[in-house]
Amino acid sequence: MPKRIVFLMSDTGGGHRAAAEAIRDAIFERYGPDSMHAELVDVYKHMSFPANKMPEFYPWIVSNSTFAWSVAYRLGDSPKRARLASRLTYRLNRANLRAIVRKHPADAVCCVHSVVGQPAFSAFNSFPTRPPWVTVVTDLVTTPYFWYDRRVDLCLVPTEEALQRGLQCGLKPQNIRVTGLPVHPNFMRRLTDKPSARTALNLPHDRTVVLMVAGGDGMGPLLETLIALLDKRLPNVHYAVICGRNKALKEKIDAVVEQWGATHVSSYGFVTNMPQFMAASDILVTKAGPSTITEAAIAGLPLILSGAIPGQEDGNVRLVIENNAGAFAPGPAKVAEVVSAWIAEGPAVLAKRAESVRRIARPNAVWDIADAVWAAANRPPVPSVPRARP
């Protein structure tokens, strides 16, 4: 009889779905294709307005209103306020959340989203028994307090700093441990040597390749950053620019490339072979997203962080800088300055940066997490404690 595992997530940014899919597929690989019936549930879409529109609102908010996001983050970033907000969310959406429980029976729940976790747990906990619960924290360092629910059976975190936050929130040491951030097993398998990757992607073998990404939705000043780099007229550099699903952005970049006659620029839309691009590259320009940093570390690709979501990604910047894995260069002009400086340092220094970034990698994280979720699915249901507080 396959085990039923429900993954609670939301498409507010690509990292939550990617984490759930990585864990799900690792379980399939480890324990067999018939071992599990898995369901990914976007909890926000089951809530009342305006929460049910959050997957559509999130990219706009992050791209266009970082100040408002920062204020909201800092107002809610305390254990007490996070618990109060979660209780209110549950009360306003109690019927909808309980409907998720009835519609998606589970032998285990794996939650990979911070804000929906505590309200969803309360819904499962409102029945006589609940399935064993594993929270997988998908923020890297500066983890919002919404992640930490003292009622869960196991909380898996990516870094020591995230673990200390959980202990501060009252989680017991035996219920929280560091595993790293889950990266899909295919990512590791598809990392090739640099010459093979460049040949496959038709990228030059005799230039420094700078990979520029802006997430699946193509957010941020990617166009302006490319223009700042082109204006530097750096020798022996090739830019690979991935625009994601943002077709308008790709059209603008293609127009700039044509205007400049920049044959040393390759632009792409949404790609599914990111491991190949990372293997082919020497420098990565990206915002400080946790998944991209984690993948770059596994690939040994030095990072230039062009921006960070205030509060939530501040710790990611610190992690990269303190480990000499890259630099923080907010804004197009600063990115261009750092790229220019790194190129001037020469390939030997760049190789040392690659060694440093590999030291923060945890390539086995997805397997450790998969084993923990599978173990939870093989335990009996847990008697609920309806009045238990997060």
- Is the N-terminal amide bond of 50 cis, ω within 30° of 0? yes
Q: Considering only CA atoms, which of 208, 17, 323 is closest in space to residue 9?
A: 17
Query: Coil, helix or strand for 328?
Result: strand
Work out the angle at residue 285's Cα, subtended by the Cα atoms of residues 71 and 357, and round it to the nearest 5 degrees. 95
Domain boundaries 3-183+364-383, corresponding CATH code: 3.40.50.2000
Give the model's pLDDT for residue 54.
Answer: 66
Q: Assess whether the region 3-183+364-383 and the region 186-358 belong to the same CATH fold.
A: yes
Query: Coil, helix or strand for 180?
Result: coil
> In this structure, is the dihedral angle defined by the CA atoms of residues 117, 120, 126 and 129, taken in order, positive or negative?
negative
* Mean pLDDT of all residues in 26-48: 93
* Mean pLDDT of all residues in 97-124: 96
* Mean pLDDT of all residues in 213-231: 89
**pLDDT band for position 231 (cuts 50, 70, 90):** very high
**pLDDT band for position 199 (cuts 50, 70, 90):** very high
Give the model's pLDDT for residue 217.
Answer: 74
Q: Which long-range contacts does 28-36 make (Cβ < 8 Å, 24+ apart)?
A: 29/185, 30/367, 30/370, 30/371, 30/374, 31/374, 34/2, 35/2, 35/3, 35/374, 36/2, 36/3, 36/4, 36/5, 36/374, 36/377
Question: What is the per-residue pLDDT across 330-375, written as a single tens digit (0 to 9) for each?
Answer: 999 999 999 999 999 999 999 999 999 999 999 999 999 999 999 9
List phi, psi (to 5°) of 205. -90, -15
Answer whether residue 62 shows pLDDT above 60. no
Residues paired with residue 40 on neighbouring β-strands, in sequence order: 7
What CA–CA distance (Å, rounded) separates 78 from 80? 6
**pLDDT band for position 100 (cuts 50, 70, 90):** very high
- Residue range 186-358 in CATH 3.40.50.2000: yes
Give the model's pLDDT for residue 385.
Answer: 87
Work out the angle at residue 263's Cα, subtended by the Cα atoms of residues 259 and 265, and round it to the nearest 5 degrees. 90
59 or 38: which carries more pLDDT confidence? Answer: 38
Question: What is the per-residue pLDDT across 178-198, written as a single tens digit (0 to 9) for each?
Answer: 999 999 999 989 999 999 999
Domain boundaries, the chain: 3-183+364-383, 186-358
Give 90: exposed, middle or buried? Use CB within 10 Å, 0-12, 13-18, 19+. buried
50 or 29: which carries more pLDDT confidence? Answer: 29
Check residue 305 and report its DSSP letter: E
Residues paired with residue 326 on neighbouring β-strands, in sequence order: 303
What CA–CA distance (Å, rounded) separates 175 from 118? 16
* Mean pLDDT of all residues in 65-88: 75
Q: Considering only CA atoms, which of 261, 259, 250, 263 is closest in space to residue 213?
A: 250
Residue 217 and residue 59 in contact, taking contact as beta carbons nearer than 8 Å:
yes
Query: Coil, helix or strand for 133?
Result: strand
Taking the CB of residue 381, how many other CB atoms lie within 10 A of it?
14
- Please give the torsion angle defined by the CA atoms of residues 326, 328, 331 and 334, in that order, rounded to the nearest 10 degrees: -70
**pLDDT band for position 390 (cuts 50, 70, 90):** confident
What CA–CA distance (Å, rounded) separates 149 from 388? 10
Work out the angle at residue 191's Cα, subtended by the Cα atoms of residues 140 and 183, and round it to the nearest 5 degrees. 30
